[in-house]
Structure formats: structure tokens, C-alpha cells
Chain A
């Protein structure tokens, strides 16, 4: 079912939760990917140091993004690459369409670019009568299905073999079996024709290297090489934050990215492309364009809470680690970027907490995304900042605001707190049976539809403390002098200003 028209994450998630095919497919692949990541990072060794190195490179680059962007552009232009800037997705589409028009292009082959999904380029190409063909297997599948990606690196993660066989059979005009080799073989043969016919090859960009003006592509299927060598014109789309300073930094990124994404030590192909074809080159495009896209990215610059969002290297590890994503899949997030990174990126890029922040509620703040992230982006904290922005700007429900006002009234004073617990213990009586509450009433319903709620104790801890304290006194033993000394030492060093803990 197409969930794009449903307006809340809750409604979209409900559709996904009722789709057992989708849940099985997503669970199967994310399990494989995250256990692959664990093994690959353990095999690599010193993983925390690698992550910290990656984080520092990204922090440094983003802090000096103006400098490195300028350096990249200068070096890329020196190699003969045409550089374009787009501040919005509309501008990026316009630039790409102008190039296509100038080349009188009839067909375009593409290799995975989340940016081209972000700006909805395929729709624009189609309406201009230009055939756009996605050549990554996953992208090809969702293009045939008329869907959007549901994962940053595995766009068709929500589809199983049978569903792919159906889609391909329709395209082939004959029934194909649900056999991976046969299905991949069909796509390969079909796409080969497209590569040879295409006027333009479009790619994304994993990293742009400032010191050389090169772009790099990590891929597994080899199609990115076809896209960037066969057609006469190449257009590369990149977010303005894709920069790294040097080739040495690429070594760190090449260590982090494949391991985090798929658990591979290296992807099957890693291309470093510096400018269009030179006279002595055996292949490559005659003309090369790079479109550098802002589209809300620069809004994060200088924002202490969100700037680190630009450190993301789009590996998808946070999606694979996320227990919420596993159950609801990518389309529940409502936009092209999904999972924990999407839940933060979508509202941040749109500068629009009111409309898109509801996806920030689809998280338990468990921190699995942060732990998996190869550059340690604190997504779990950013989700809270988004919620705070929404509350501060008055976009939350009046009932919720009243509830937290009540929370504050009760919790800011221990006497009121104690009294409300006492009243609760009495008031709950009609609902409690065998010590639990199972009634599906009022605000309890969400909880009791899936589990029993506990009842308040007859006597709270604070009400039993006086008697307990007396009783415990009689059980108190002598403290081990070594422990006593250690505790004194901790207190002493704290007094001297040392931070002993925390």
C-alpha cells in the first residue's frame, strides 16, 4: 500500500505493522547487515579509535566547510569539471534539465543518488519526455514498483524475492521464477542495453576530495562504473557537506563506510573520478558536471545542536540498528530519508519542526543509532531537541501541554507529590484486580492494549521509610576499613576539584 498520503507517522506505521511480508523482509536484512557490521568492526580492531578519527575528520571539515568547498571547486574546475550550485531542490532540477536540454538527451542512466531522490529528479525528467533508468538493482526494483526508497543504501529492503519476481515478470513480458540469479540476470541484460543507449550518466557522490577535486563512488554492482564511463555526459549530484579534505582522509572513510553499511571490508568497486576523459584515457565522459546542493543543509551550520547532522556519511547503520525502523520500515518516516537519521534530517532540512517533527516521536531514545554511527552523531539527543523546539514553539497538543504543566506542579514539591501518590493509590481501587490494571480506558489504553499496568503500592517507599530506617539500623554492620578509606579518598579528590565520576 502506498503510505505517502497518510499524514502521520502513526498512521503510516500502522500500515507497516500490519504488513507481515514487509516486516519479515526488513527484519531479515537489517539483522544480516547489523551483525555484519559488528563482525567487520571487531575484525578491524580499535573500532572506537577509528570512529573517533572519522568523527574528528567530519567535525573539522564541516567547521571549515567554506574553505574546503572552495578548494574542491577550484581543483575540480582545474580538471575541466563544470561546477554548479543549487540552493534549493528546484534549482538543482532546473540545472540538470538545462544540461539535458543542451545535450538533447533522450535517455539518462542513473546510479544511486539519494540526492536525486531528495530533489525528485526522475519525475522532472519523465515529464520532459526523457527516459530515466535507475541501474542499481534495488533502485531499479522500486522504480518499476513506482515507489520511493525505504532504506538509504538498500532501497528495496521492504520487498521479498517473490515480489521482485512479479515486478520483473511484468517488465519481461514473461513469468520469471523467484530465483535471485535469474532475476539479477534479467536486470543485467536489460540494463546493458540502457547503458549503451544513454546520453547522460547520473551519479551520486560518497565523498568529494578537496585536495584533488575528485569524487568517489562506493558500489557493489559495477553499474556506477558503466554510468560514469559509457555516456558522453556525466552529471554528479552531491550535498554540499559531502567534502573531505584529503585522500588520506578517504582511507579512514573507506574503512568506516563499507563496514558500517554492509559489513564489507571494502565494496566491490571504489571509483575515484577526477574530471572528464583526458586524451590519453581509454574511457570516461567527454563532459562532466557536478551539482552541489544546499537545500536546507546550510541551516544547520552554526547550530550547536544540529551541525553534527552534516557529518553523516549515509551508511545506513543507524537504520539497521534501530528497533523502531525494524518494525515499521522506511516508508513510515514519510520522506526520502528514513530511520533515525531521516527522523532528524527531514525536519532539519525543511527547517520545519511543526510539520515534520512527529517522526521525532517515533523513537524510544534508546541510543542504538548513536552507538552504531561510524562518526558518532548523537541522533538520540537531536530527537529530543526537535521535540523541545516543537513544544517551545507551541505546536504540541493543548492536552499534552496541560499534562506536563500538571507534572511540574506535582513534581516540583514533595508534599504535593506525596499527596497525589496517596490519592492515586486510593483512586485506582476500582481499576485494580490481582495487583494489576488491565482496563483499556482513557490514557491507559495505549499501555493496556499490549500489557498489564502495575498498580500503585498501598504504601509508598517514602511512607514506609521511617519504620524501614529503624529496622535497617539494627542490621547495620561495620564498614570494611579499606572501603571506608576509598570512599573518603573519592570525596576528598572531589573536594579538590577533580571530577571523579561522570
Chain B
């Protein structure tokens, strides 16, 4: 059984500890991750901007990397959403690539999907005595349909007080290149999101996508708000270590 990690370029370059937490957490449940290093990026920045040929250049590295994997697991609802929602469209002109893309779609899971749907785990025995709020990222929830899995995992963490985020389903304003191209609109959106986060009086903001968390966290820290921002896998791993 070959279970591979699709780490995503953002975690690879900026947040490697998220990938590390995932490898360590899964090892505790008998899942040995392996990391095919020919992978780069899912191609989403180019795809969403309309440069599909350039997107294919990146996306093919994932087809190559996971050719003989049985499961592919990733710490991003957005990048997995890209594979599930867009790869068949991206490769529709080429039958051979389309066939490989379909196979990749079938075996690729966002991290909480894999934990809950495949491993059947909701309670990892974690302990995390903090007030936490959760931002459900748009692509994970809407394109991929990951809604209950993270909440099920969070509600089973001992000591954790989960505070609902007002208008949580609203986009944080990241949108990849949107944040730079339409920076004023993006700034207004993240400001509103950060206000909602502050209203919860949570100590920790948790999510499933480092892109959104980089945006919200970057704004919170820019405004001098001392909130801790973390990926759910980090929280869970810290929680099981605390328990142990």
C-alpha cells in the first residue's frame, strides 16, 4: 500500500512544519507516508488566471509523481479541490493525460477527508485546552464538499472550546493572484474576516488551507493582534503529543 504526500508548494516552501505534523500524525495510525519529489505545484495560480498551458506544465508533475500511489493525501482543500474540480477540464484535449488525471482524482484526498472517510477516525485522543475558531475555506467546502470532517475532528479534541466564526463561510479575500491584482478589494475582505475572528475572542484560528491562513494571519499580525493561526493538522498533532 503506497500512501503519498502531496505537500503543496505553499507548505513545502513556507510552512514545512505542517507537512511534518501530517507525516508524524499519520505514522501513529500506521500510515507510512512517502514523498515523491518530482511533484511541484497543482497549477492553480496559472489555471485560475487563464493560463492553462502553463498550468498543465505544473500539473503534469503531479500526474508523474503519483502514478503508482494508492492514496494521495494533502494538507489543502484548495489544491485538492483544483485536482478534483479542474483536472479533467484541464486535460480534456489529451486522452492519455485525461486518463491519468481521472486516476489521480480518484485517489486524492484532503487530509481530513482521509482521516474521517478512509481511516474512519474522528477521535485521535488529542488534548488542546484552548478557545478555537475555525475558518471553513471556500474551495475545500464548496468545490470539494469538505464540511463536516474538520468539525467532527475538532469536537472530539478534549479541552477544546470551539467558537463559531460569524459569517464563517465568507471568503477571506485571498483568491491567489486576486490578493495582488485587486489588492484594495482583497484588503477590505480580509479586514472584515479578521474582525469576525476577533469577535469570537478565540485564542487560536484554525483552518485547512495555508493560503487563507497566510492571508488572515498576515492581516491579524499586521494589525498587532496576537492570535495563534494554525493548520488543523498542527493542532491535532500538538494535541496528541500533549496527551501522550
Contacts and interface: CB of A to CB of B under 8 A. Distances in A.
Interface SS majority for chain A: helix
A412 B58 contact: yes
B169 A368 contact: yes
Contact of A487 (B1, B14, B19, B174): B1
Interface size for chain A: under 10, 10 to 19, 20 to 34, or 35 or more residues? 35 or more
A408 B57 contact: yes
6 contacts: A404-B54, A408-B51, A413-B61, A425-B13, A449-B187, A479-B31
A366 B118 CA distance: 27
Given A368-B170, A461-B20, A476-B32, 16 more contacts: A17-B188, A371-B142, A391-B52, A408-B54, A409-B57, A417-B41, A424-B13, A450-B186, A460-B13, A464-B16, A472-B23, A475-B28, A478-B30, A479-B30, A501-B106, A502-B108
B37 interface: yes
A452 B222 contact: yes
A323 B222 contact: no
Interface in B217-234: 218-219, 221-222
Nearest to A405: B54
Interface string B175-215: 11011111111111111100000000000000000000011
A13 B187 contact: no
A414 B221 contact: no
Interface in A451-480: 451-457, 459-462, 464-465, 468-469, 472-473, 475-480
Nearest to B30: A479
A98 to B, nearest CB: 43
B23 A500 contact: no
Interface stretch (A81-89, A157-165, A279-287, A488-496): A488-496
Interface of A: 9-10, 13-14, 17, 323-324, 327-328, 361-368, 370-371, 384, 386-392, 396, 400-401, 404-405, 407-414, 417, 421, 424-425, 436, 438, 443, 445-447, 449-457, 459-462, 464-465, 468-469, 472-473, 475-480, 482-484, 486-488, 490-491, 494, 499-502
A376 to B, nearest CB: 12
A337 to B, nearest CB: 19
Contacts of B47: 384
B118 A451 contact: no
A490 B14 CA distance: 33
A363 B37 contact: no
Contacts of A412: 40, 57-58, 60-61
A455 B1 contact: no
A361 B182 CA distance: 8
Given A414-B38, A450-B191, A494 B218 contact: no
Given A328-B185, A362-B185, A384-B47, A451 B218 contact: yes
A494 B35 contact: no
Interface-centre pick from A366, A417, A451, A460 (highest chain B CB count, 10 A): A451
A409 B23 CA distance: 29
Contact of B7 (A10, A452, A461): A461
Interface-centre pick from A390, A443, A461, A478 (highest chain B CB count, 10 A): A461
B24 A472 contact: yes
Interface-centre pick from A368, A412, A499 (highest chain B CB count, 10 A): A412
B220 to A, nearest CB: 8
